[in-house]
Amino acid sequence: MENVKLAVIFYSMGGTNYQLAKWAAEGAKEIGAEVKVLKVEELAPESVIEANEGWKATVEATKDVPVATSEDLEWADAIIFSVPTRFGNIPSQMKQFLDIQGGLWASGKTVNKVVSGMTSAQNPHGGQEATLLSLYTSMMHWGAIIAAPGFTDPAVIGAGGNPYGTSVSVNQDGEMVEDVEAAVKHQAKRTVTVAEWVKKGNQ
């Protein structure tokens, strides 16, 4: 059987979710997945980005990362989304990316994709769980299979214990408060493993 194909799709303003995406890619590759790390298109005006040093630095750091397309979703057996929370919801950049997949959805090409989500906020109760639940609502409409981490590894507890997906708090200096690298890698491996089961069942 060919290796699981994983798309790690992120939106990042301050660099946190880009880092989570890179850790997820590392974890997935450790168990043999073929991985693409992709960003969604930026919608914010350039003038707003230019006025924020951290945002500007992230745009520069991710300038060579390919923008995710419908073709990438079709290619993938599994998808991990990594996004900051925006008032307990996913950012408009990721929402637009999901909203333009109507053609893919209508043709049944989102069915049985194995999906998982990760997020960040400036404090532990800043809407992290709600953001992931919001993402998963869209995934249910897709007919996707949600591979949440639950409490399947001690790393989940060590990272703060979010069963919906790895989430991290970011302080005023843009630094991650919790140590979530192991939890991210576990979540990626779990997502790939579930996708492997689905692929085997479909053959």
Low-confidence stretches of the chain (pLDDT beneath 50): none
Which residue segments constitute the domains of the chain, with CATH numbers given?
5-202 (3.40.50.360)
Gap between the terminal Cα atoms of the chain: 9
Render pLDDT for 80-132 as a digit per residue (tens, 0 to 9). 999 999 999 999 999 999 999 999 999 999 999 999 999 999 988 899 999 99
* CA pseudo-torsion sign 21, 91, 151, 33: negative
pLDDT at position 173, please? 87
Question: Could you tell me where the DSSP H helices lie in the chain?
Answer: 16-30, 46-50, 53-61, 70-75, 92-99, 102-106, 128-142, 154-158, 181-202
What pTM value is reported for the model? 0.96
pLDDT at position 195, please? 98
pLDDT at position 1, please? 62
pLDDT at position 2, please? 84
Query: Is there a contact between 13 and 54 (Cβ–Cβ < 8 Å)?
Result: yes
**Cα of 154 vs its chain's centroid, Å:** 21
